[in-house]
A and B are shown apart, each in its own frame.
Chain A
Amino acid sequence: MASKTLKLKPGHLFGHVILLGFGLVLLYPLVFMILAGFYTKEEFMGSILHLLPFPQHPTLENFKALIVGSTDSAVAVYLRNSLVRTAYNTFWAVLTSFLCGYVFARLKFKGRDTLFLLLLATQMIPGTIAIIPTYLEFARFPFFGGNHVFTGGTGILDTWWVYLIGGPAINIMGTFLVKQSLEKVPSELDEAAKMDGAGTFRIIFRILFPLQLPIVAFIAITTALGTWNDFITPFFYTNSDSLQTLPSAITRQSSVAASPGAVINYPLIITLSLGVTIPALLIFFFFQKYIVQGLANTGIKG
């Protein structure tokens, strides 16, 4: 039996080399960050770092601080808060997107199309514009934080309510995607289920939801990534260490550098940055199929 030999064309080999080179260049910052995370603050400041910075006195303190906390109890909560916020927002985003999408796709009521257009129009408002009005809204939240009705206290600023109330907003793009997707599903399916005795919620969650898993996955992934990387909400609306998430914690540690005489803890900041970057990379790596599918669906007309 003749042996099979793999023939690699010179063109392919060249392409592989180029791609490998680019891959190494893109991977290098991550490798640098991981190695830098093993430095102590003093050694990092006192040494001249090489291309691959191997510390002479490595420490696990920065990684311990990221995952399980350290002598500074505030650091312990950053990762926990990020995880809790992300899970909470993702749950509500999926739920509200699907329910709202169902309403606009299946229910007929007066003003439906106008209301949907209004919701879509809000997408044109840059988020930055809403920062101060939202700040005022939280500060004036009735009967919270010492407010007699709307004034006199701090409302829900610097409390978990900022995340609990401010988090689960209606995901407009998700609603749009679900609406588009459900319009392609024949309504006879709903009628058949109704004839079998299924109620509305059973139809939504038992029949329609499983058919829309790719769209739901896309909504979940984009919401999770957005919340994981969100820095504005904890930065503007909270002050306590116990409420900070990883992105705002990095800002806090970095702003120490601006404080006169402070020795900035670069290894800790780099490790916290790893904590923000790696989960996002992993999510994208394992779920990229759904992300690409979802992006493609945004261009499909009903």
Chain B
Amino acid sequence: MGNKKALWTALPLAAALLLSACSSGGGSSAGSGSPSDTAPASPPAASGSASAGGSAQQGAVTITVLNEGAVGIGAGSIDQLLPQKKAALLKDETLKPRVQESDFDWQPGQPANPNLFGYFYQKIISEKLKSQNISIKTEDWGWGEPLIQKETAGFLAKNVPDIIVGETQMPGFAMQGLLEPFPDDMAAEIRDNIAPAAWKPMEVDGKIYGFAAQPGVNSLFWNKKLVREAGIDPDKAPQSWDELLADIKKVTEAGKGKFYGGGVYAGPNAGGYLRYGPLLVINNGGFTDANGNPAFNSDANVKTVAFLRELNKNHPPGLMVNPTEGNYFDAFKKQQTAYIIDGPWRASESASLGIDYGMSPIPLPEGGAPGNITIGAAFNAVPKDAKNKEAAFAYIRAMYSDEIQQLIADTGVRSPVKKSIAESADYQQKHPEMYLHYQAMNGNVQGLPTFKKEDSKVWQIFGEAVVKAIMTGGDIKGILDDAQAKAEAILK
């Protein structure tokens, strides 16, 4: 009898404890100041506070940072990963160029083996933070959709790393109030010294919420071999849309079904918007008006979509609007298409595949103005629920340090964002193509907008309208008007 009573007493108690564990006010956020093994001695940075720039923690701190493919060397403690990575790089026979022991003697200002970029990146940041008693542990949450889902689950459970990373989802996180704004002094330093492409898309209501060490903007690339076969000068970049379209048509004619002129990926997804979006922007159109409301059916956009329709005729059927963007880039890699608009990594990737490529800024249409959309910008941000915010901001400071930006410059795969490095005479002389890319990052550079409501639905409406306009002979203005009306109805 006594046992039964004890059981019936214990059961509700256990249930109450379990229910409280599942409550959202679990108090795990750093804001609550709950102690942990790695808690910083100073309180978490509050919005707008002028916390000291990257000051050392009183005790040793380990921050957890999400991996980004371009700079990742594995998941775990950086101190342990570095020697493992070095050994793996030396052993890997598939790398081009092969990694030699002497490559690890790189000094700033000298060319760096691109295959060592991640190694040096992590080494430099790790050493900078060690001097502040901060060590780094990385985790790999994947990329693209898997990363977005994991980050969303992490936010819901208030169980997120000290630094998260991402692309198109990051401005949305900032607008939802999930991220910590940069301290004022750090934000001022970034605005004065860094190209806008690295932070502008992450600026919300005048505060910066994220930073990308080596963002990209779109450029035009072409396969010189295919272009030469069409009788076009492979070293001359097209200067206008008309010239570009004419060249593309010539390549398609010369290809006779074996290869095509190509152009730009226009699938109904972020990969498409990021790539044909610059064409909308430089033709004085875009996705939104000045107030952030959809502006799909402007006259300028109608002209751009008409241009896309012409480009579509120079692709294998269905390729340009294929829902899977990988198929489009595979065609360029397999030398089935000649022209492509893509981020700066297209250069190194083409080189590694043995494609002789040309690169230039995207040509302007008649009456157009320079502009671009950031692409491949892996924004690093500090979640509001991060446990070690000051140490996390110290990590971000290291990302725009001279050492890291010089490494980016010396590797030659992307361009640095720090003005003192990128605008130096030395950089302009050594990396003329990447300097053009840097200049493009300083102009009218935008990120993909996040709509006020039902963001993914509004984008889907736009994407499908553009695909319909490209694939059918329908009235482009009518199709875009219809999309505009649907988007406005959702956002009312």
Say whether A and B bind each other: yes
Which A residues are closer than 8 A to B by beta carbons?
40-42, 45-48, 71-72, 74, 131-133, 135-137, 139-140, 142, 146, 148-154, 157-158, 235-236, 239-241, 251-252, 255-264
- Of the listed stretches B330-338, B399-407, B455-463, chain A binds B330-338
Is the CB–CB distance between A150 and B26 below 8 Å?
Answer: yes
Other than the given A42-B94, A251-B142, 19 more pairs (CB < 8 A) read: A45-B330, A131-B153, A135-B153, A136-B157, A140-B26, A151-B26, A152-B34, A157-B159, A235-B150, A239-B140, A240-B139, A255-B144, A255-B147, A256-B69, A259-B143, A260-B375, A260-B378, A261-B346, A264-B326
Q: List 14 A-B contacts (CB under 8 A).
A: A45-B334, A133-B22, A136-B156, A149-B17, A151-B21, A152-B27, A152-B28, A154-B159, A239-B75, A257-B144, A257-B326, A258-B145, A260-B70, A262-B69
Is the CB–CB distance between B70 and A261 below 8 Å?
Answer: yes
Is the CB–CB distance between B343 and A260 below 8 Å?
Answer: yes
On chain A, the residues within 8 Å of B68 by CB distance are: 259
Is the CB–CB distance between A261 and B336 below 8 Å?
Answer: no
On chain A, the residues within 8 Å of B17 by CB distance are: 149-150
Is the CB–CB distance between A71 and B91 below 8 Å?
Answer: yes
Is the CB–CB distance between A132 and B330 below 8 Å?
Answer: no
Is the CB–CB distance between B88 and A72 below 8 Å?
Answer: yes
User: CA separation between A133 and B141, bound complex, in Å?
Assistant: 19
On chain A, the residues within 8 Å of B20 by CB distance are: 150
Q: A72-B88, A153-B36, A260-B375 are in contact. Are A255 and B145 (CB under 8 A)?
A: yes
How far does the Cβ of B429 sit from chain A's closest Cβ, in whole Å?
25
Tell me the residues in window 20-35 of chain B with beta carbons closer than 8 Å to chain A beta carbons.
Answer: 20-22, 26-28, 34-35
B354 at the binding interface (Cβ < 8 Å): yes
Is the CB–CB distance between B343 and A132 below 8 Å?
Answer: no
How far does the Cβ of B216 sit from chain A's closest Cβ, in whole Å?
7
Report the nearest A residue to B153, measured CB to CB: A135
Complex A-B, nearest 6 residue pairs according to Cβ-Cβ distance, in ascending order: A261-B345, A258-B144, A260-B376, A259-B69, A150-B21, A140-B21
B290 at the binding interface (Cβ < 8 Å): no
On chain B, the residues within 8 Å of A264 by CB distance are: 326
B366 at the binding interface (Cβ < 8 Å): no
On chain A, the residues within 8 Å of B333 by CB distance are: 45-46
Is the CB–CB distance between A48 and B336 below 8 Å?
Answer: yes
Is the CB–CB distance between A152 and B153 below 8 Å?
Answer: no
Is the CB–CB distance between A139 and B353 below 8 Å?
Answer: no
User: CA separation between A261 and B72, bound complex, in Å?
Assistant: 13
Q: A239-B75, A260-B345 are in contact. Are A45 and B353 (CB under 8 A)?
A: yes
User: CA separation between A136 and B216, bound complex, in Å?
Assistant: 37
B352 at the binding interface (Cβ < 8 Å): yes
User: CA separation between A157 and B157, bound complex, in Å?
Assistant: 11
User: CA separation between A259 and B150, bound complex, in Å?
Assistant: 16
User: CA separation between A45 and B156, bound complex, in Å?
Assistant: 39
User: CA separation between A132 and B326, bound complex, in Å?
Assistant: 30
Report the nearest A residue to B157, measured CB to CB: A139
Is the CB–CB distance between B143 and A258 below 8 Å?
Answer: yes
B146 at the binding interface (Cβ < 8 Å): yes
On chain B, the residues within 8 Å of A263 by CB distance are: 349, 352-353
User: CA separation between A45 and B143, bound complex, in Å?
Assistant: 21
How far does the Cβ of A158 sit from chain B's closest Cβ, in whole Å?
8
Tell me the residues in window 392-412 of chain B with beta carbons closer than 8 Å to chain A beta carbons.
Answer: none
Is the CB–CB distance between B27 and A151 below 8 Å?
Answer: yes
User: CA separation between A80 and B349, bound complex, in Å?
Assistant: 33
B189 at the binding interface (Cβ < 8 Å): no
How far does the Cβ of B59 sit from chain A's closest Cβ, in whole Å?
16
On chain B, the residues within 8 Å of A135 by CB distance are: 153, 156-157
How far does the Cβ of A160 sit from chain B's closest Cβ, in whole Å?
16
Is the CB–CB distance between B22 and A137 below 8 Å?
Answer: yes
How far does the Cβ of A165 sit from chain B's closest Cβ, in whole Å?
14
On chain B, the residues within 8 Å of A41 by CB distance are: 94
Report the nearest A residue to B69, measured CB to CB: A259
On chain B, the residues within 8 Å of A257 by CB distance are: 144, 326
On chain A, the residues within 8 Å of B76 by CB distance are: 240
User: CA separation between A5 and B439, bound complex, in Å?
Assistant: 84
User: CA separation between A247 and B36, bound complex, in Å?
Assistant: 34
Tell me the residues in window 49-102 of chain B with beta carbons closer than 8 Å to chain A beta carbons.
Answer: 68-70, 74-76, 88, 91-92, 94
> Could you say which of A137, A151, A236, A251 has the most chain B C-beta atoms within 10 Å of its C-beta?
A151
User: CA separation between A140 and B159, bound complex, in Å?
Assistant: 10
On chain A, the residues within 8 Å of B147 by CB distance are: 255
On chain A, the residues within 8 Å of B150 by CB distance are: 235-236, 239
Report the nearest B residue to A49, measured CB to CB: B334
Tell me the residues in window 274-298 of chain B with beta carbons closer than 8 Å to chain A beta carbons.
Answer: none
User: CA separation between A139 and B21, bound complex, in Å?
Assistant: 10
How far does the Cβ of A34 sit from chain B's closest Cβ, in whole Å?
21
On chain A, the residues within 8 Å of B91 by CB distance are: 71
Q: A146-B36, A152-B36, A260-B70 are in contact. Are A139 and B159 (CB under 8 A)?
A: yes
How far does the Cβ of A119 sit from chain B's closest Cβ, in whole Å?
18
On chain A, the residues within 8 Å of B413 by CB distance are: 261
